[in-house]
Amino acid sequence: MCGRFVLHTPPASLAGYFDIDAIPDLAASYNIAPSQPVAAVRMPGQHRELVLLRWGLVPSWAKEAKTNYSMINARAETVAEKPAYRTAFRQRRCLIPAGGFYEWRQTPDGKQPYYICMQQDGVFALAGLWEHWEKQDEVVESCTIIVTEANDTIRPVHDRMPVIIQPSDFDRWLDPESRDADAMKALLQPWPANEMTIYPVSKAANSPANNDARCIAPMM
């Protein structure tokens, strides 16, 4: 699964990477956690936009705007069929910018966090889905991150990883008119292992209350 991630890319760099004219001045975040607002790129019309969505999907048919922890991730193998995700998978796909993410290994001394990022240490795009929930005067727009089997770099620590979308596939992934489920599912593959790196970091990353660069600094 993917339960925490990082985004510290300057807004100007995000605008260039995702081909968006305007991006709000996002503060760097080194420990983004479920239920927090996260940046997401979507294309509800002809143009891409960056919006803030609550992490933890609330299906449009839910009776109330609550979600459980499991709704932060959708499994690639079943995302097209599960009632909570299948409509969003057809029509409301998004990209969630990230600079890296965390996974944990249980050790005799407790949970050891590991930081995972690209070897080139740049921004990349997690595959996401978004939903619009509305009841009376309350409106919630939320999202989930799609996960798949881990690649060889990550597998020693965890058996799952978030799906990462290639820039050449951004248009196809974001287009709400692209409704071929098989074609979309073909994009949900593990990222090449040789392009990623993983290393242990301080246990400060275990708490979302800690949100600074020490969370991603390699352990000495």
Are the C-beta atoms of 210 and 109 separated by less than 8 Å? Answer: no
**Active-site residue, 2 included:** yes
CA separation for the pair 27, 34 (Å, rounded): 17
The 10s digit of each residue's pLDDT in 89-103 is 999 999 999 999 999
CA separation for the pair 92, 86 (Å, rounded): 10
Confidence class for position 23, pLDDT limits 50, 70, 90: confident
Exposed (0-12), middle (13-18) or buried (19+): which is 178, by Cβ within 10 Å?
middle
**Active-site residue, 103 included:** yes
Mean pLDDT of 166-193: 95
Q: Which of 103, 131, 141, 143 is catalytic?
A: 103
Mean pLDDT of 170-174: 96
pTM, two decimal places: 0.96
Q: Which amino acid is at 147?
A: V
Confidence class for position 65, pLDDT limits 50, 70, 90: confident
Q: Considering only the C-alpha atoms of the chain, give the largest distance between any 2 of them, rounded to a whole number of Å.
A: 53
Mean pLDDT of 34-58: 94
Closest alpha carbon to 188 in 106, 80, 103, 107: 80
- Decide if pLDDT at 25 tops 90: no
Tell me how far the alpha carbon of residue 122 is from its chain's centroid: 15
The bridge status of strand 37-42 relative to strand 124-135 is unpaired
CA-based angle 39:162:165, to the nearest 5?
70
- Decide if pLDDT at 162 tops 70: yes
What is the chain's percent helix, strand, coil content, to nearest 5? 20, 35, 45
Q: Which of 2, 94, 143, 215 is catalytic?
A: 2
The pLDDT, as a whole number, for residue 109 is 87
CATH of domain 5-98+120-150+160-192: 3.90.1680.10
The pLDDT, as a whole number, for residue 69 is 62
Closest alpha carbon to 185 in 119, 129, 134, 112: 129
The pLDDT, as a whole number, for residue 68 is 65
Confidence class for position 125, pLDDT limits 50, 70, 90: very high
